[in-house]
Chain A
Amino acid sequence: GAGVSQTPSNKVTEKGKYVELRCDPISGHTALYWYRQSLGQGPEFLIYFQGTGAADDSGLPNDRFFAVRPEGSVSTLKIQRTERGDSAVYLCASSLSRGRYEQYFGPGTRLTVT
């Protein structure tokens, strides 16, 4: 079956602009996670959803970052007033449900802020 998909695969934006990154989880997976991976580092947890609600958003670095999952499937990560330090690969993962630890990752969106 189809895996986790993310769009766009690459996004270049200017400092100060607003961006949206989209994640389509594996069909039937109710838990969805966002991570950020900087060059040469491991993924860093940002937020996770169980259904439509954010169960844990403790990894969001500041209030410029926001994520939604209005219908419990597709999720959008939104970054306002982008900064050069936001440049990274943003990864999305999904799992069958909360407590089922096998998380399956998408290919990521490479965000470059110039």
Chain B
Amino acid sequence: QQQVKQSPQSLIVQKGGISIINCAYENTAFDYFPWYQQFPGKGPALLIAIRPDVSEKKEGRFTISFNKSAKQFSLHIMDSQPGDSATYFCAASRDDKIIFGKGTRLHILP
């Protein structure tokens, strides 16, 4: 059973556009929801994270929107840049164990 479902699998966005990646989770016991960015040949890097008592968190061009009742959350990348081209993973955590989604390969057209 896939505990964290992520979509789309791949995404192409024009430079300056908004990139949106969606995730859904099953276990209501999760209490921490991070997003990771991964470049080829590198380990995942923490981008932004949210806890379920908050509906939105913004850091620079990156925003997480969180809907606790729907068990869904999303990442919005504003003014997307070619340097944002990477694979993005949503995740959910409880008791120090992180469960990752399958990833979204994002490509920003120059």
Q: Which residues of A contact B (CB under 8 A)?
A: 4, 31, 33, 35, 40-45, 48, 55-56, 58-59, 91, 93, 95, 98-99, 101-108
Contacts and interface: CB of A to CB of B under 8 A. Distances in A.
B95 interface: yes
B63 interface: no
Interface of B: 4, 6, 32, 34, 36, 41-46, 49, 89, 91, 93, 95-103
B6 to A, nearest CB: 8
B41 A101 contact: no
Contacts of A41: 102-103
Given A42-B89, A48-B96, A55-B96, A103 B101 contact: no
Given A40-B103, A42-B89, A103 B98 contact: yes
27 contacts: A4-B43, A31-B96, A33-B96, A33-B98, A35-B98, A42-B6, A42-B89, A42-B91, A42-B100, A43-B100, A44-B100, A45-B99, A56-B97, A91-B43, A91-B44, A98-B96, A99-B96, A101-B32, A101-B34, A101-B49, A102-B34, A102-B46, A102-B49, A103-B46, A104-B46, A105-B36, A105-B43
B95 A56 contact: yes
Contacts of B49: 101-102
Interface class of chain B by DSSP = strand
A107 B41 contact: yes
Contacts of B100: 42-44
Given A43-B100, A102-B34, A104-B46, 17 more contacts: A4-B43, A40-B102, A40-B103, A42-B100, A44-B100, A45-B99, A48-B96, A48-B97, A56-B95, A59-B97, A93-B43, A101-B49, A105-B44, A105-B45, A106-B43, A107-B43, A108-B43
B42 to A, nearest CB: 6
A2 B46 CA distance: 16
Nearest first, the 5 closest Cβ-Cβ pairs linking A and B are A42-B100, A105-B43, A101-B32, A42-B89, A105-B44
